[in-house]
Amino acid sequence: MDFIYSNSNKRYHTLDYFYKNKFKSKVCKISLNAGFSCPNLDGTVGYGGCIFCSKTGSGEFAGKLGDNLLKQFNDIKKIYNKKWPKAKYIGYFQARTNTYAPIYKLKEAYETILNQKNVVGLSIATRSDSITDECLDYLEDLNKRTYLTIELGLQTIKEETTKLINRCHTLKNFEDMVLKLRKRKINVVVHIINGLPYETKQDMINTVKYLNKLDIQGIKIHMLSILKDTPLENLYKNKKFHVLTKEEYVDIVISQLENLRQEIVIHRITGDPKIEDLIEPSWLTKKFCVLNEIDKEMVIRNTYQGKNVE
């Protein structure tokens, strides 16, 4: 079968397909580290951060923190240019909480990247409790000038898990922010994590079913990475909770895809940790094997994104 939102053998709505249809060009996201903090670190909402979060605040593949944003951008752009000399770019503010700063600092960071040649958009990773009304007004203005995406971390809808991972915001807070962003026609991409401690397959599917009912434009599906020097490492060593096998992960992801509307873009479908920091699962180091297994199993099952959506 041919899946309508794919330009490859994928049976789900790939980000590459979406970008090429929207911009008529190869589009590369350039991951940046603007040096922002997080309200879950400094005591505003909590201390210590989410238990899975690395020292870089999920910015392992972002630009070097010691470099200014322009140098980060240009260094990474040079690498992409060798393979895709005619590519367009989206500045991806990745590390930590990228709306958690005064407006003048946000403007300085965002506008610096937006003013670079061939930049067609910005993607801003943040938390639902860290976007003020003043920030919303500015984002609405940005959205009129460029292709803007706000990436909100949710991880799970299960309250017990949210407390365990020290997420420090409520599901209602998340849902309210999605509504505020969409009222201003700002695109929303949601991050979720599979394999969180003690969650069942049905818990993970329930998170996706919940998101499918919201007005979101994309999703990032991660596998839980147990990384060195994190509270999650200590929990794993002390409790030895179950870590999903590759086969279990593939099965769960396919079930999640079946429960997502076809127009929702799949921005990510597995984790991508730094090998030297990874404790478990070891199979995450072979990203393309995981992607291939998902593709093959979807063919075997003759299934596709949205199959179970009524």
**CB-CB neighbours of 27 under 10 Å:** 21
The CATH topology of domain 15-300 is: TIM Barrel (3.20.20)
**CB-CB neighbours of 277 under 10 Å:** 17
Nearest to 98 by CA among 71, 74, 145, 63: 63
For the chain, residues with pLDDT lower than 70 are 1-2, 56-63
CA 304 to chain centre: 21
Nearest to 126 by CA among 156, 100, 102, 92: 100
User: Vertex 67, ends 63 and 69: CA angle to 5°?
Assistant: 65
Tell me if residue 123 falls in helix, strand or coil: strand
Q: What is the pLDDT of residues 110-163, one digit of tens each?
A: 999 999 999 999 999 999 999 999 999 999 999 999 999 999 999 999 999 999
Q: Which two tokens stand for residue 149?
A: 């995406």
- Predicted confidence at residue 9, as pLDDT, reads 85
CA 288 to chain centre: 18
| 145-178 as b/e: b if 16+ CB within 10 A | eebbbbbbbbbbbbeebbebbbbbbebeebeebb
Residue listed under structure tokens 């605040």: 57
Q: Please answer whether residues 69 and 10 qualify as being in contact, where contact means their C-beta atoms are separated by less than 8 angstroms.
A: no
Residue listed under structure tokens 């094997």: 289
Q: Which two tokens stand for residue 308?
A: 């179970």
How far apart CA 145 and CA 126 sit, in angstroms, is 20
How far apart CA 283 and CA 226 sit, in angstroms, is 12
**CB-CB neighbours of 58 under 10 Å:** 21
Q: Please answer whether residues 17 and 6 qualify as being in contact, where contact means their C-beta atoms are separated by less than 8 angstroms.
A: yes
How far apart CA 202 and CA 208 sit, in angstroms, is 10
Kindly list the domain boundaries of the chain, sorted by start residue.
15-300
